[in-house]
Amino acid sequence: MRETWRWFGPADEITIPEIVQTGAQGIVSALHHVPTGEVWSPAEIAKRKAEIAGAPDAPSGLTWDVVESLPVSEAIKTQTGDWRAHFDAYRQSLHHLAAAGIKVICYNFMPVLDWTRTNLAHPVPGGGRAMHFELADFVGFDLFTLARPGAVDDYPDDLREEAARRHAARSEAQQAALARNIVAGLPGAAEHWDIADVRAALASYAGIDAARLRTHLADFLSEVVPTAEALGLRLCCHPDDPPFPLLGLPRIVSTADDYASLVAAVPSPANGITFCTGSLGVDPGFDPASFIARLGPHIHFVHLRNTTRGPMRGGRCSFTESAHLAGDTDMVATIRALMAEQARRADEGRTDAIIPMRPDHGHALLSDLDRPMMPGYPLIGRMRGLAELRGIMAACR
């Protein structure tokens, strides 16, 4: 697999020269400063490519391999407001990215909240820090801070009672910090939400159940996949993170069956999957090798990450982000299956036989603890993860 590294651009505390030292071959990045729904201009794309490549007298040797993400607007997901104009902007951005030679475009279809955690610096044994999702704390936020109508019906009695106890024990400052963690959104994003924004966004999903959201996803694919295919691009949808409903909203990209429906909705080599073991692995039914055996030809991009989940409670669970070779996902079996898929593609003569991967998230370790960083994206922790994953790939060759 091609080893890549996520970089958030000039706002990222980790620099391109530091990434070079990790041994990564390519960069995963996006124009996070461009508001969702607007066109990515050729000038801004060229600027990011140049930032990654480095100065002419000191080239980095890195290339911009994957866009993560070209975001799908809430207007498109709900089919409200300027959603048709956003389709036009999305297609135009695809044209500009193709002209710049960037072929792999990641996106997601999660309503309102992107990846969701309650603690962005949870202590782990040995002194490091990890991201963590504490179910009872999230439920307390939903019930008492957000005060979402109907939330009480979404959780079993024992979970509501525990959430109430934990909420009552937190100070106002602790409650505010929890809320900030939950609504933080993606690092580096142009939009930053508060409680009022979340309430307004939830209202826009009134009447949108899982079936309707799937229809809207199929409509999005119908609008953009033909353009991507004509341009030789590979679109790849990231799974829901975590892979269960939050805030009463449907989540429709959480399982292998969901992905089978996604690729069948608009059959095309341009309509594919971002295979994220960290997101999918929170589901106790996730089997990475079986997923790859079933849907491997559609995988365009890989996130390798691990989690340790707690007991299921009402179809949901707490989980902690683990070291890459720890946790509930068998990373050796995962990489072995991915490399077999690459070999199969090579035998077919596919031009995308080598799949880009990146070490996703990681524990904050050593000097990570003494410097600011994007939540979940430490330098030392990801470098450790990349080294461990690289070792598995070498052993599986």
Catalytic annotation, residues: 238, 276, 303, 360-361, 377
What does the H/E/C string look like for 19-32?
Answer: HHHHCCCEEEECCC
Helix (H) or strand (E) holding 130: strand 129-133
Q: Which residues, other chains included, contact 190 with Cβ-Cβ below 8 Å and sequence gap of 6+?
A: 32, 33, 34, 35, 36
Q: Name the DSSP class of 38.
A: S
Cβ–Cβ < 8 Å for 264, 271: no
The string over 92-111, giving b where at least 16 C-beta atoms fall within 10 Å of a residue's C-beta and e elsewhere, is: ebbbbbbebebbbbbbbbbb
Q: Which residues, other chains included, contact 365 with Cβ-Cβ below 8 Å and sequence gap of 6+?
A: 127, 128, 378, 380, 381, 384
CA distance 160 to 167: 10
SS3 306: strand
Strands 26-29 and 2-6: parallel
The phi, psi pair for 85, rounded to 5°, reads -65, -35
DSSP per-residue letters across 187-248? TT-S----HHHHHHHHHHTTT--HHHHHHHHHHHHHHHHHHHHHHT-EEEEEPPSSSS-BTT
Q: Which residues, other chains included, contact 390 with Cβ-Cβ below 8 Å and sequence gap of 6+?
A: 3, 23
- Give the closest residue to 34 by CA, choosing from 47, 44, 42: 44
CA distance 8 to 204: 29
User: What are the CA-CA distances from residue 139 to residues 43, 231, 245, 248, 322 (Å)?
Assistant: 44, 44, 12, 11, 23
Cβ–Cβ < 8 Å for 105, 40: no
One-letter amino acid for residue 372 of the chain: P
Cβ–Cβ < 8 Å for 363, 307: no
